[in-house]
Structure 1
Amino acid sequence: MMDEDETSYRWETEYERSWENIQEDDSGTLKAIVADEGEKMRRRPPGGKKRIRLGMMRHLFLIVDLSNAMDQKDLRPSRLSCTLKVAENFILEFFDQNPISQLGVIVTRSSKAEKVTDLGGNPYHHVNKLKEVASCRGEPSLQNAMEMALQSLKHVPSHVCREIIIVMASLTTCDPGDILDTCESLVAHRIQCNIVGLAAEVHLCKRICERTKGQYGVILDERHFKELLMQHVTPPPALESAEASLIRMGFPHHHSTAPASYSMCQLDSSDAALGTVGYFCPQCKAKYLDLPVECKLCRLMLVSAPHLARSYHHFFPLPVFNEQHPTETWLCLACQSHVSSTAYECSECHQLFCPQCETFIHETLHMCPGCCSSLPSQTNDTVKS
């Protein structure tokens, strides 16, 4: 009984002694334990040299369960508050790593489904709208939510990766028909469905993910919740049956015009306002406030050059650094701090990085500072020769 009490779940404890996770190093400064960074390193797939055909253009619907099950307090301070925070981080990170993709938000409660935002490329619009409707009531309807996402995704071109991510808090669903028929419709339209469960494993959810070749996971705590959702940020491998095709894109300029006008993205919104500044489609001159977006008139994909440049690292991922265990204090190239812990060495430039910088380089920067700093000198030597 004593062993069971010591290994209880986090939500069963009254408080946490977070100050005990702080330790002092040899120089007398305080530092946090870097166990999380080590776990991230172990979870990262090895290699990076293998070329994998990825679904770079993604249209994704995030379905959030806002039933009464979201009011449970097993996540602090509640499931709803924790879900909103994790969903916000996911949406921002999704558009940072997938700048030419689009996302929409659907909520389900009172045995109905409600589309909060349609497919779009403005992350802050999705986050703000989700917070506005964040109230729990009734039971969820998984089938209605999946059908609503299906109606929008089935018209997406075949070269676009179509996905659904469901955050499910309830163990039951109130559906008007056979949900397995909806699952087969997702399979027919090659739409991948991923589910993150907040309570316990449900056979129906597991079967839906298996049929649509998605991933299903049940969280253990807040940190595991974030990990399960963040694993969907990276573009998934493209289907073998997906055909390669050229995609016409427009690169509109941001400028102003004399007569004020409405933007095409605000026509169906209640907060539409006249304005003179925006992005104008180079083909039909339609006005939009944010990029990327698909023109509603001529169906041309409108993006900016930085959006394509930021997608480059998915095709050429940074190789995993080699773990080293120096016997003496060493200098981290990135943060220029003297470190006595585990070092990570780049296989190309052989520079050493601390665990925190190594995690930042692989998950945010996507390029090695040591390799980049050596490029100008190599270019100058080539020019001189």
Structure 2
Amino acid sequence: MADSDGEYVEDLSDDELAAPAHADGSYGTRSKGGRQNGKKGDGRKGKGGRTKAAWEDIKRSWETVIEAEDGSLTVEALIEAEKRRRLMRDTTPLQRGIIRHLMLVLDMSFAMAEKDLLPNRYLLTLNYAVDFVREYFEQNPISQMGIVGMRDGIAVRISDMGGNPAEHIEKLRTWAEEQDPQGNPSLQNALEMCRGALFHTPSHGTREVLMIYGALLSSDPGDIHDTISNLLADRIRVSIVGLAAQVAICAELCTRTNAGDTSTYSVALHEQHFRELFLAATTPPVTHEGPSGDAQKQKDQPNGTATSTQSSLLMMGFPSRALASKDGVSFCACHNRPTREGYACTRCRAKVCRLPAECPVCGLTLVLSTHLARSYHHLFPLRGWVEVSWSEAVKSVACFSCMTPFPPVPKGKGAEAEQQKMAGVSESGRYKCQVCGNHFCIDCDVYAHEMIHNCPGCQSDTRGAAANGEVDGGGNGEAAVNGSQENGGADIMVVDS
């Protein structure tokens, strides 16, 4: 047998040998210049002097263009439309709780062994849970989270409430390797465990439960409606992402605990949709006055649930990083482990190894200024950029941020009519900031709105805050001071230095 795939020629009839090879190599994957009747053909040479196989020179036309009835539509345009769909959302500043306490509940019952989501629901959920933990603490650095599982009719604690993403990810990976889905889920047991974990959280933070539910049943020891009433009394909001069909009790649970908002319960259609629904929970929920239909009951609650969403004073400390001497090793108060570096509490001087954290000695919240800044963008999101027409595209030849060249402006009056127009997609490939007026590409549009949450053009503008519209809170949200008073954006914070 020949040494390489390019030199191998299967047994062919005389008619097949005499027939000319197809131009685009669609009749086979063998080399056109392979050996025929013991003689080497005049095929193209690849690396090492061997003859190239036909499949090595395939032009992947399906990745560049799709023919339509009224013209050609590029796949790049479809990808761009998908990116714009994620960005075209309401950017109205709303009151949100930026200090969150979230319990993640994962279904680990027999229903998660189904393979309608590859490789199966269980492994895909745990993989997405790892991504969710990273993104959650990236977008909410001063928040905390705990993880609970449902299996064998009970609730199991995977990780305790904490602000260290490495610990949560380690526990999730351990469960993925050592445990398999089995038994029935129990909504009531999982919610009661979440209630116990969120009971002692401070009143200035939000109390949330995010549940990934793959079953169509729930094995509960009691009346789950009593549990829902207790969740309302404790101001706990529940959101559910379903992996099967819609379940009536899940819809009722989410609607009652979210002031009648039905969007907090969704059913995933496929893997990508599941990931989008999962990661959408990284955005803090909008603060409500109280769930509709239960407002009168909450007014009678002794803990004052109806007025618990008002702003409150919060004491915070901003410690500096302290490096020990060459031989100086001390124990941290949070893990009781020897470390050479850490942060000293600004009130009691106790040492903690990482931030953000709550001082184990005096209970003071310790954060960095960068943590506070990264959480603030949820209150005043960056405005959406608008599409640029060909008539306005002559003002720019490259992206203001990354300097990527834009498509040249076509000549002729009928240029605009010949272009394929899709919802939200710019025909010129340019997107303009409504404040500074600079033009950006789609990749910078996505990066600015999903990662840095600031406009590079507005940040580099040296004309002052008045030019950017930041005096009256009408700018891009970088320094909208008055907006926090009008929209109730954040709690008033007292800094302990």
| TM-score, reference length from structure 1 | 0.83
The letter for the 1-side match of 2:429 is T
Pair 1:163 & 2:208 matched: yes
Name the structure 1 match of 2:275.
Answer: 226
Instruction: Indicate which of 430, 433, 436 corresponds to 1:343.
Output: 430
Offset of residue 344 of structure 1? 1.2
Q: Which runs of 5+ in 1 are unaligned?
A: 1-18, 26-30, 268-272, 380-385
Q: Decide whether the 8 Å contact of 1:254 with 1:280 is kept in 2.
A: yes
Pair 1:118 & 2:160 matched: yes
Name the structure 1 match of 2:400.
Answer: 333
Name the structure 1 match of 2:331.
Answer: 261
Give the direction of change, closer, same or farther, for the CA distance of 1:259–1:93 in structure 2 (3 Å limit): closer
SS in 2 for 1:157: coil
Offset of residue 207 of structure 1? 0.7
Offset of residue 203 of structure 1? 0.6
The letter for the 1-side match of 2:268 is I
Over the matched positions of the two proteins, sequence identity in percent amounts to 41
Taking the aligned partners of 2:275 and 2:322, their CA distance within structure 1 comes to 39
SS in 2 for 1:349: coil
Residues 175-190 of structure 1: matches in 2 within 5 Å? 175-190=220-235
Q: Decide whether the 8 Å contact of 2:102 with 2:207 is kept in 1.
A: yes
Name the structure 1 match of 2:287.
Answer: 238
Name the structure 2 match of 1:23.
Answer: 64
Name the structure 1 match of 2:362.
Answer: 298
Pair 1:38 & 2:87 matched: no
Taking the aligned partners of 2:281 and 2:61, their CA distance within structure 1 comes to 33
Pair 1:81 & 2:168 matched: no
The letter for the 2-side match of 1:223 is Q
Offset of residue 70 of structure 1? 1.4
Offset of residue 60 of structure 1? 0.5
The letter for the 2-side match of 1:23 is T
Instruction: Indicate which of 345, 370, 375 corresponds to 1:281.
Output: 345
Give the direction of change, closer, same or farther, for the CA distance of 1:363–1:180 in structure 2 (3 Å limit): same
Q: Decide whether the 8 Å contact of 2:359 with 2:365 is kept in 1.
A: yes
Offset of residue 63 of structure 1? 0.7
SS in 2 for 1:107: strand
| TM-score, reference length from structure 2 | 0.65
Offset of residue 166 of structure 1? 0.2
Name the structure 1 match of 2:265.
Answer: 216
Deviates more, 1:362-371 or 1:231-240: 231-240
SS in 2 for 1:33: helix
Aligned length: 349
Q: Decide whether the 8 Å contact of 2:87 with 2:449 is kept in 1.
A: no
Offset of residue 262 of structure 1? 5.1
Q: Decide whether the 8 Å contact of 2:98 with 2:376 is kept in 1.
A: no
Taking the aligned partners of 1:37 and 1:210, their CA distance within structure 2 comes to 34
CA RMSD of the aligned region, Å? 2.6
Instruction: Indicate which of 425, 436, 452 corresponds to 1:365.
Output: 452
Q: Deviations 1:3-58 (Å, cap 9, x if unpaired)?
A: xxxxxxxxxxxxxxxx6752179xxxxx963535423433545564x432211111
Taking the aligned partners of 1:287 and 1:175, their CA distance within structure 2 comes to 44
Name the structure 1 match of 2:105.
Answer: 63
Pair 1:314 & 2:368 matched: no
Pair 1:201 & 2:242 matched: no
Offset of residue 374 of structure 1? 2.2
Name the structure 1 match of 2:30.
Answer: none
Taking the aligned partners of 1:174 and 1:128, their CA distance within structure 2 comes to 29
SS in 1 for 2:149: strand
Max radius of gyration: which structure? 2
Q: Which has the higher strand share?
A: 1
Q: Decide whether the 8 Å contact of 2:143 with 2:163 is kept in 1.
A: yes
Taking the aligned partners of 1:371 and 1:81, their CA distance within structure 2 comes to 43
